[in-house]
Chains A and B, each alone.
Chain A
Amino acid sequence: MPDRIIMHIDVNSAFLSWQAVYNLQRGYSVDLREIPSAVGGNQATRHGIILARSIPAKKYGVKTGESVWEAKNKCPDLVLVPPNHHLYMKCSRALMEVLNEYSPRVQQYSIDEAFLDYTGMEKRLGEPVPFAHRLKDRIHAELGFTVNIGISCNKLLAKMASELKKPDMVHTLFPGEIREKMWPLPVEELFMVGRRTARKLRSMGILTIGGIAAADPDLLKHKLKSYGLLIYDYARGIENSAVFPGYYMPMKGMGNSSTIPFDVEDMHTARLILLSLSETVAMRLRYSQNCCSVIAVSIKYSDFKCCSHQQKLITPVNCTMDIYRTAARLFEEAWDGSPVRHMGIRVTGLQRDDRIQCSVFDHPYYLKNLYLDRAVDGIRDSHGIRSVVRACFINSGICASLGGVGSENWPVMSSTL
């Protein structure tokens, strides 16, 4: 038996099946998973892109990421449902609650994926494979959607295992099974290998994951730099990161941006938009229990010329007003006065917010702002993002929290606005 047992739990076509279950709960007779359907876009304006599609829609060639218009051409009867991020968060939390009952070491990897460290749980919960079947069936019975579970001795192989065959399956991929189960797969199936790397690998004559494993590491390093060695290790199933409990996100930064329905030509409007973006970014930052020490502002002018400007802060912050003040100053410095069509705020240099070094240069109301943000977050969490808005947005025609999936009145992703 290997030293560690790691499970990867992955929801099958998450957004779509969550919506399908929610609809069934509300008494709809049609199961979205059984008809050609997709989540995404705006039905009325036929804008936006497909975020998730059902298996019957897949048969028509509907792809994730293509525009609604293209998808409708391929499949005229496609049933479209708007994205509902609030519901996805609810489903995701419910899934995590179930997983946390079994192990203290559960890492949420994305909205619909999690790692569970099963090491040492055998005595209490039994062998891993029967347990995984029980867990999968329990999630199906209790929460209504199906999951794939991959079992192995590290996170990489567990993730690869859960992706083998869908839906509603349990797979193992222990090092002894790599040759048989993973190596025959095409290169782009390997974690971290995207379309572009796949093209490069193919030009080198490497077509399968086994090909990467058998390749000369020096050649991979020469062609792909250190990343070549990483995928070489991955192809051989070598990876040993720990399962970080909770909301650990190995991310380096986050940001929100938005194309504005009109061109911004004055500082007052620009400030309002920056404040609105700061609200969204700061809320996400606080939710992830992080602070940022670098703030960057990006501007796209109406002629599609872009520029950005950033600043490193003395003390890390996560208050809306702190982020806004810096962003507004950066914008003022970077803006050349021509009409702006798109603005964004990005924060990096993240660190945990449980210990913060204060500074004498902090804003005098630093603590008050901190408590205020905490209170406002609490209200918005239970009553919706628009339950509390800043008075300056009243009658301004600008959404009080622009950009991203945190706002309920904004589509998750869109190619055009």
Chain B
Amino acid sequence: MKVLNKPVDMIAVFYSSGRVEPVKFKYEDTPVTVHRIIKRYNEKLAGNRRICFVCINDGAKVYELKYEVDTQVWYLFKM
């Protein structure tokens, strides 16, 4: 996987319980629907909070999305 850390436009669900879930994002004008989240974790490196999602599409394509809490920006981190 390659590190990209590119901001992306995202449609996400913010559940009333406080949970966040990415649903669909646009990368270089290509819309991508998130099929399955296989892992989620919080990251607090340098005090900068990010919620990280390791996702998988078509059973094999793994990529990582990160939501930066302070700036409210979604990143396609790795692909």
| Interface of A (DSSP majority class) | helix
Stretch from A138-146, A192-200, A338-346, A407-415 that touches the partner: A138-146
* Among B5, B44, B50, contact of A94 (Cβ-Cβ < 8 Å): B44
CB pair A143–B5 under 8 Å, yes or no, is no
Give 20 new A-B contacts, CB below 8 A, not counting A22-B46, A29-B3, A90-B48: A21-B45, A21-B46, A22-B45, A22-B48, A25-B43, A25-B50, A27-B3, A27-B5, A27-B77, A87-B47, A90-B46, A90-B47, A90-B70, A93-B47, A94-B47, A142-B44, A143-B44, A143-B46, A144-B45, A144-B46
Does residue A18 face the partner (Cβ distance < 8 Å to B)?
Answer: yes
Does residue A26 face the partner (Cβ distance < 8 Å to B)?
Answer: yes
What residue in chain B is nearest A89 (Cβ atoms)? B47
In the assembly, what is the distance between CA of A94 and CA of B5, in Å?
Answer: 23
In the assembly, what is the distance between CA of A93 and CA of B47, in Å?
Answer: 7
Instruction: Output the least CB separation between B19 and chain A (Å).
Output: 21
Does residue B4 face the partner (Cβ distance < 8 Å to A)?
Answer: yes
In the assembly, what is the distance between CA of A90 and CA of B44, in Å?
Answer: 10
Q: Which residues of A are in contact with B by a Cβ distance under 8 Å?
A: 18, 21-22, 24-27, 29, 87, 90-95, 142-145
Chain B residue contacts of A94, Cβ below 8 A: 44, 46-47
In the assembly, what is the distance between CA of A21 and CA of B3, in Å?
Answer: 15
Across the A-B interface, the 4 shortest Cβ-Cβ residue pairs: A94-B47, A27-B5, A144-B45, A90-B47
Most chain A CB within 10 A, of B5, B46, B48, B70, is at B46
* Residues from 1 to 16 in B contacting A, C-beta threshold 8 Å: 3-5
Write the B49-60 contact mask toward A (1 if CB under 8 angstroms, else 0).
010000000000
CB pair B46–A87 under 8 Å, yes or no, is yes
Write the B23-53 contact mask toward A (1 if CB under 8 angstroms, else 0).
0000000000000000000011111101000
Given the interface contacts A27-B3, A27-B5, does A95 sit within 8 Å of B47 by beta carbon?
Answer: yes
Chain B residue contacts of A145, Cβ below 8 A: 46
Instruction: Output the least CB separation between A197 and chain B (Å).
Output: 36
In the assembly, what is the distance between CA of A18 and CA of B4, in Å?
Answer: 21
Instruction: Output the least CB separation between A29 and chain B (Å).
Output: 7
In the assembly, what is the distance between CA of A93 and CA of B48, in Å?
Answer: 10
